[in-house]
A = this chain, B = another copy of it.
Amino acid sequence: MFGIWGHPQASRLTYYALHSLQHRGQEGTGIVVTDGQNMQGRKGEGLVTDIFTVQSMAELKGTAAIGHVRYTIGGCDAGYENVQPLLFRSSTGSLALCHSGNLLNGPELRRQLEEQGSIFQTSSDAEVVAHLIRRSRLPALKEQVKSALALLQGAYAFLLLTEQELIAALDPQGLRPLSLGRLGEAWVIAAESCAFDIIGARFARDVQPGELIIISNQGICSENLSNAPSRNLCAMEYVYFARPDSNLAGINVHTARKELGRQLARECPVEADVVTGVPDSSLSAAIGYAEELRIPYEMGLVKSRYVGRTFIEPSPSLREQGVKLKLSAVRGVVEGKRVALVDDSFVRGTTGRRITRLLKEAGAKEVHLLISSPPIKYPCFYGIDTLSSRELLAANHSIAEITELIGADSLHFLSEEGMRRVLGGGLCMACFTGNYPTSLPKL
């Protein structure tokens, strides 16, 4: 999610920014741009590099834009229609909006709107919010947006664009990251600070929980959506979601991960000949673990650079024979060694089991699996695609059971306390602890 106001190459810069945010969603992407008079957009299902062409970018002329990369949860909300930004046109002007997160009362608001005659072409929460805005009787857009957001429960970060304004909003619990920056005279807003670096913009400050920011040619202003905002930034952003070069709440993500690895080493030192991490998101933690214990850090697993592209899947019989494309164990590194394998998180245990087997097949003498976060035991209601409790292995099994299931020689998790020590307060750790920062939806 990225927005820019006041730059002659608004759509191009949005394209580069979305490229750097691609890891946050691969299902679809869109850009809407305005020149102050008109508004136009382009979107599609696929990666930034697939959807936007030189020609389509040339057509997106304007000085302000918002863009989005789509992350779908559990495969629902698929389809072109659901790719954001959504663009609504009316005789009085256009409105584009995109969001990340998940509204807890989205289905209920939708039902209420339907009863009032609203019709829906998408299954997106963004369309719900657009209806709420347009149905407000208040005179100014800012007031309409505030009255709409007041009805929302859950986690959200919103960007809205009209011909006159760029509006950003963050939920009062501050679950999602959102940052403000400057590029010369232009304002930029991004889900992660890496988007600023890639376009040469400077980080200004994080958007605050419950803050509404309105940017126009008259300048920037800020309002509070809530009397009692509090920061509850999603811990999984540090653990695996964000890019290592981003800073979240002032902390660099790579550094945070490495410190989680160091803390894990202090809590759970194992006797090993080599330390290796699961590429790519666990490498920082593995380095930290290795450094703390002075065990050599090695590349025990290699990920194909060309994975991510569509390839022809091996048939079951070939898979049985050992064909594996995405991740290879490096025999020359692990053969005959006791391996400390660091992974960033633990959900269903399938990755852990698969990689432990890979390493053993490549000759590892022992495999000790070290997770640089606590076990995930509770579902996320705020927009991260972990799973229902039933599928969360740690919710239903003891560590001894899991170690056996996985085939590792030992299994260790970072403690909740250890995570807090590294990352500080102001975090949502509900998936580890079950302490949710909001009331939950009635099921």
Residue ranges of A at the interface with B (Cβ–Cβ < 8 Å): 9, 12-13, 15-16, 19-20, 22-23, 47-50, 52-54, 57, 80, 86-92, 95, 110-111, 114, 116-121, 123, 130-131, 134-135, 183-184, 194, 197-201, 243-245, 247, 251-255, 258, 280, 283-284, 287, 291, 296-299, 302, 304-306, 308-312, 314-315, 317-318, 321-325, 328-333, 362
Contact = CB atoms under 8 A, between A and B. Distances in A.
Nearest to A332: B252
Nearest to A330: B245
Given A53-B312, A243-B302, 18 more contacts: A9-B315, A12-B314, A13-B323, A15-B312, A19-B325, A23-B305, A47-B309, A86-B121, A88-B119, A91-B114, A117-B118, A197-B362, A199-B322, A199-B323, A245-B299, A245-B302, A245-B328, A287-B299
Contacts of A53: 312
Contacts of A258: 298
Contacts of A314: 12, 16
A69 to B, nearest CB: 10
A304 B12 contact: no
A121 B120 CA distance: 10
A83 to B, nearest CB: 10
B302 A244 contact: yes
Contacts of A284: 299
A417 to B, nearest CB: 24
Contacts of A50: 309
A23 B200 CA distance: 30
B19 A311 contact: yes
Contacts of A322: 199-201
Given A312-B57, A314-B12, A48 B306 contact: yes
Nearest to A123: B89
Given A13-B318, A89-B123, A299 B332 contact: no
Contacts of A95: 119
A284 to B, nearest CB: 6
Given A298-B254, A309-B47, A331-B245, A134 B110 contact: no
Given A306-B22, A323-B198, A244 B299 contact: yes
Given A119-B88, A121-B121, A245-B302, A311 B49 contact: yes
Contacts of A92: 114
Contacts of A298: 254-255, 258, 287
Nearest to A110: B91
Which 4 residue pairs across A and B have the least CB separation, nearest first?
Answer: A200-B322, A252-B332, A117-B135, A245-B330
Contact of A90 (B9, B47, B114): B114
Nearest to A256: B332
A9 B318 CA distance: 9
B123 A332 contact: no
Nearest to A296: B291
A153 to B, nearest CB: 19
A333 B120 contact: no
A9 B312 CA distance: 14
B299 A247 contact: no
B304 A120 contact: no
A323 to B, nearest CB: 5
Contact of A183 (B297, B317, B321, B362): B321
